[in-house]
């Protein structure tokens, strides 16, 4: 009987180790995915800033708001790297920001393709987004100063404007965050002896 108890104990310890390893592997994968999201978001923001300086593009309030959303996504993704245990929370928040980014980029794309049918941003009473962008522009003008019009398509590559490309970037982030939300959570802690 004692022999069976030792075997059962050894199997339980082995199962506990495998649960620990599974959680450790999943944590590493989550950290890598969140790190990739953070790198992607910061890379897109840096690309927008560098392209704006290099090509002398004038960023509009919606462009700047999309930069802000990318930076918030990067911040939450870094939180996911540091605290992968709360991956579902970070994924949900990143997904909400990505939906906001897709909507903002779609609205800006509509402004660019039908400027006569739309009310130009920056004219008239400032919206909440414009007020936020103006406030950030006063704090960090190099990164957040809006001087352009939302309806102008100053830069295109492969027939898509920067707003279109930004929308595709947000859509990619949204797909990854939905995938992370659909992942099963990490296995529960093995009960102590």
Residue 45 lies in a domain: yes
CATH number of the structural domain spanning residue 174: 1.20.1550
Measured CA angle at 35 (ends 76, 44), to 5 deg: 80
How many domains does the chain contain in total? 1
Residue 157 lies in a domain: yes
Residue 191 lies in a domain: no
Which pLDDT band holds residue 17 (cuts at 50, 70, 90)? very low
pLDDT at position 123 is 60
The β-bridge partners of 160 are 157
Share the mean pLDDT of the chain: 76
Residue 187 lies in a domain: no
Distance (Å, whole) CA 118 – CA 51: 27
pLDDT at position 190 is 40
Share of the chain above pLDDT 70, in %: 70
In contact, 120 and 130? CB cutoff 8 Å? no
In contact, 64 and 136? CB cutoff 8 Å? yes
Q: Average of pLDDT values for 96-125?
A: 79
Residue 130 lies in a domain: yes
Residue 111 lies in a domain: yes
pLDDT at position 154 is 72
Q: Which of 2-6, 27-31, 49-53, 116-120 has the highest mean pLDDT?
A: 27-31
Per DSSP, the chain holds a count of helices (H) and strands (E) of 6, 2
Lowest mean pLDDT among 12-26, 100-114, 115-129, 156-170: 12-26
In contact, 163 and 63? CB cutoff 8 Å? yes
Residue 163 lies in a domain: yes
Res 108 pLDDT > 60: yes
pLDDT at position 1 is 55
R_g of the chain computed on alpha carbons? 23
Residue 189 lies in a domain: no
pLDDT in tens, 42-93: 998 898 888 777 877 777 788 888 988 999 999 999 998 888 888 889 899 9
pLDDT at position 57 is 76
Q: Which domain holds residue 47?
A: 2-182
Q: Average of pLDDT values for 129-153?
A: 69
């Amino acid at each position: 009987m004692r022999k069976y108890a030792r075997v059962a104990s050894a199997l339980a310890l082995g199962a506990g180790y495998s649960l620990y390893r599974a959680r450790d592997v999943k944590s590493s994968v989550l950290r890598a995915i969140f790190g990739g999201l953070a790198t992607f978001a910061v890379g897109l923001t840096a690309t927008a800033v560098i392209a704006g300086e290099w090509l002398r593009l004038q960023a509009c309030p919606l462009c700047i708001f999309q930069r802000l959303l990318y930076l918030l996504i990067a911040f939450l993704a870094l939180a996911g790297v540091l605290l992968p245990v709360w991956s579902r929370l970070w994924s949900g928040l990143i997904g909400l920001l990505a939906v906001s980014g897709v909507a903002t980029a779609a609205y800006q794309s509509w402004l660019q393709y039908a400027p006569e049918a739309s009310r130009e941003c920056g004219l008239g009473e400032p919206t909440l987004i414009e007020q936020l962008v103006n406030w950030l522009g006063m704090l960090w003008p190099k990164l957040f100063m809006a001087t352009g019009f939302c309806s102008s398509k100053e830069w295109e590559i492969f027939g898509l404007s920067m707003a279109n490309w930004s929308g595709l970037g947000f859509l990619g982030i949204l797909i990854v965050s939905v995938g992370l939300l659909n992942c099963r959570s990490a296995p529960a802690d093995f009960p102590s002896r």
